[in-house]
Amino acid sequence: MRISILEDDPDQLALLKRWLSDDGHDVHGYLTGRDAMKHAGRESFDLFVLDWQVPDVSGADVLMWLRSNVSKQVPVLFVTVRDSEQDIVFALENGADDYMVKPARRQELLARVHALLRRAYPREEEKLLAFPPFEIDVARGEIRRGGERIELTPKEFELTVVLFRNVGRLLSRGHLQEAVWGRSGDLVTRTVDTHVSQVRKKLDLRTETGFRVVPIYNYGYRLEQVGEGASSAA
């Protein structure tokens, strides 16, 4: 999963990034609140980890900005030295999903991250995805529409799985790139656009068939379910 960390201590940031990267996540770290906010406005993330006491914009202000401008659903975990009941209650009542007091312990941090991601993205654990008329067998690398198999390249299939696991959610190009191709500096943005176009064509994703891919200029894509069942997917 894609995680953003706000932590003004470079050594602590490096430690948190290593723990989460070793756990299989794509991790982006920021030393200032403004930098974290700038990237959160340009890119999508699956989880935000916030320190409270940072030099410019406090973690509490970043939290409220995220909830007002980015997403009310993406989970937020505070990892901070502030341990008063008043601070914990403030964070939780203003949109944080969990709160840890430093010093952070590796196994506890990973357990809390796993719990937050599991609750927020239950489809990530599913190996069979049903979005009529589509059925996706993740383990076998197969997708069918109305029982008929659709031939996709491996990367097209991975991209399809990411899109359907996130129906209704806006994903940045960078997010899609890391989810499918990893953090490759050689990959051009056009590669993502080309694969999205191929998936849209091969799956016939359009309003008339129940799903459509909506491009968001200078940002990314959102797979939308239209017609019957749209509300349950949102």
Last residue of a domain, one of 64, 91, 120: 120
157 vs 191, residue with greater confidence: 157
Say if CB 48 and CB 77 are below 8 A apart. yes
- If asked whether residues 115 and 8 sit together in one domain, one would say yes
Last residue of a domain, one of 70, 91, 120: 120
CATH number at residue 169: 1.10.10.10
Q: How many domains does the chain have?
A: 2
Tokens of 158: 């991975």
Q: What is the span of the domain harbouring residue 227?
A: 125-233
* Residue 20 CB burial class (10 angstroms; 0-12, 13-18, ≥19): buried
Statement: residue 208 has pLDDT above 90: no
Last residue of a domain, one of 103, 120, 137: 120
Instruction: Please state the pTM of the whole predicted model.
Output: 0.86
pLDDT of residue 234: 40
- If asked whether residues 26 and 103 sit together in one domain, one would say yes
- Tell me the CB-side half-sphere exposure of residue 48, using CA atoms within 13 A: 31
- Tell me the pLDDT band of 230, cut-offs 50, 70 and 90: low
123-146 average pLDDT score: 93
Convert the pLDDT of each residue in 80-133 to its tens digit. 999 999 999 999 999 999 999 999 999 999 999 999 999 999 888 889 999 999
Convert the pLDDT of each residue in 100-111 to its tens digit. 999 999 999 999
